[in-house]
Structure 1
Amino acid sequence: MIDQRIAVVVEDDRDAGDAISALLTQAGFDVTIAQTGTAALAVIRETAPDLVTLDLTLPDIDGVEVCRQIRMVSDCYVIVLSGRTAEVDRLIGLEVGADDYLVKPFSLRELQARVAALFRRPRSAEMPATEPLPVPVSADGAADQDSQIGCEDLSLNPEAREVLVAGEEIDLTRTEFDLLAHLVSNPGIVVAREALLRAVWATEFVPDSTHVVDVHLANLRRKLRAAASDNEWIRTIRGVGFRFDPCCD
């Protein structure tokens, strides 16, 4: 028997919250509505939801801060629902960990499509079957039997969603991990920004530009440099995208 999915609707407008809740309930979710950021964070810690819809304008805590705190305790899908239409607001929402951004007013049918698109995306860092992960090899040339990928000083375990730099674990958001895993799985190959959008976000949301990829990669590179300042594994290929160089120093 498949466990029922859990959703938390964070919305201070009662009518809007009820409408979203009815839609998600019909889609098979067990739904809880929270009208404040404080209540939302408490419910999320208690229920470990699969999905959160998040209004940015809340009476107590700004929704961006709520999203940031969600990412500290949960790897659930987060869809921001906001009347803020500027691209910078969308980028901020995605930067702090949202998976999608839907501008109000929106149709419930569009929200339903966005939710469906997110759940077609694997929750683990599994790569598409058409892009198999390289087989890691140990120092003696034998194939490693665990799921580690990467190079000597940088290793990823997609199943555990763990990243080690020089043997020390570093903390990445889900988007940062997925970007790194996708690049590491294609060593020496230039991956276009558009390809990263499709592979990592896997959603109908199309930002006004691919700048959101650069924002997340800048954060990722900053964390990698903090752990190993003498290495630069991710190269920017101007006008195209990014390349993972496993042996670069």
Structure 2
Amino acid sequence: MDERGAAVVVEDDADIRTLLAGLLTQSGFEVHQTSNGTDGVRAVMEHDPVIVTVDLGLPDIDGFEVARRIRRVTDAYILMLTARTEEIDTLMGLDAGADDYITKPFRPRELRARIEAMLRRPRVQQSAGPAVNGELWSTSNAPLSSQAGHGMSAGAISAPGTAPSAAPTPYSAATASEAATRHEEISYRLDGLELFPNLYRVTVEGVDVQLTPTEFILLRTLLTSRRMVRSKAQLFRTLRDEEPDAGTFVSDADERTIEVHMGNLRRKLGDDPRRPRWVETLRGVGYRSAGLPQAGDQGL
């Protein structure tokens, strides 16, 4: 395995597939290539990649459906590639779970820059689960120290309101103490929602909510900004790992992607934009938290 982990390229054009594989290999990834969506989803499940590139126009299932299927099993970064220039296609890709998109033809330097910008975003990782009968339990059978991986293994994560498919593993008092020390930090709480920055974990009324890395960053930014309004341009610069007020160019399409990501975030949280509990929109200005978050010990 190369230093940065695995990457999967889902692309039916052989020349572009070779180009993408070469760029990712040069960036330190072990690359696995597929020419159709079905094999691409299978490769993702087999290799647990850090990043996946998905072509929109595939011979069997389209890139939207591929992204949706991939997003169900992993929090890998998804970069959508499309030859279509219509904005609706880009927005549909983001809505399907992609983190970013790039249109063909593209410059290799631009593609590499977008990949590096995505990799600077935190990834949503599973952490220790809630205390049960006074003991700390894990959502997988691996020790907490080995759960720094990025994939969501089958059976390790349950949908809200359902039981885990595998029995949880209790931790010893020493392991729990070590875990608490390693992850000790403040959390941000607002009206039943709680966000743990270092654990990349979000709960609503105590139930874990699975967010993409992009959605997590947006929510974290709003909560840590307290009631300060953040414009769409500021939020997009934050996703590029820039200072919000850096003044770098942000296109109308980039701002529209923020709207799509915020819509997906609200949907996953169950937040009604007409009566917001957590994310408030100020039309023509931007977004802010709907209340003043409280900071405190995470108290797992």
Pick from 283, 287, 292 the counterpart of residue 238 of structure 1: 283
Pick from 162, 169, 179 the counterpart of residue 208 of structure 2: 169
Alpha-carbon shift at residue 168 of structure 1 (Å)? 2.4
How big is the alpha-carbon RMSD for the aligned residues of Structure 1 and Structure 2?
A: 2.8
Question: TM-score, with normalisation over the residues of structure 1?
Answer: 0.80
Question: TM-score, with normalisation over the residues of structure 2?
Answer: 0.68
Distance 1:200 1:116, change over 3 A: closer
Aligned 8 A contact 2:11 2:34 in 1: yes
CA distance in 2, matches of 1:123, 1:9: 19
CA distance in 2, matches of 1:2, 1:16: 22
For the residue of structure 1 that corresponds to 2:198, the secondary structure is coil
Query: What per-residue deviation string (whole Å, max 9, x for no partner) do you get for residues 173-202 of structure 1?
Result: 332222111111111111111111111354
CA distance in 1, matches of 2:4, 2:87: 35
> Counterpart in 2 of 1:104?
104
Determine if the alignment matches structure 1 residue 222 to structure 2 residue 267: yes
Aligned 8 A contact 2:36 2:60 in 1: yes
Determine if the alignment matches structure 1 residue 64 to structure 2 residue 29: no
64-73 vs 95-104, which moves further: 95-104
Unmatched segments (≥5 aa) in structure 1: 126-144
CA distance in 1, matches of 2:198, 2:104: 36
> Percent identity between the aligned chains?
42
Alpha-carbon shift at residue 231 of structure 1 (Å)? 5.6
CA distance in 2, matches of 1:174, 1:239: 26
CA distance in 2, matches of 1:235, 1:46: 40
Aligned 8 A contact 2:68 2:97 in 1: yes
Alpha-carbon shift at residue 151 of structure 1 (Å)? 2.5
For the residue of structure 2 that corresponds to 1:210, the secondary structure is helix
> Counterpart in 2 of 1:78?
78
> Counterpart in 2 of 1:136?
none
Distance 1:207 1:90, change over 3 A: farther
CA distance in 2, matches of 1:199, 1:235: 18
Aligned 8 A contact 1:101 1:205 in 2: no
Unmatched segments (≥5 aa) in structure 2: 126-183, 243-248, 294-300
For the residue of structure 2 that corresponds to 1:44, the secondary structure is helix
> Counterpart in 2 of 1:94?
94
Aligned 8 A contact 2:271 2:277 in 1: no
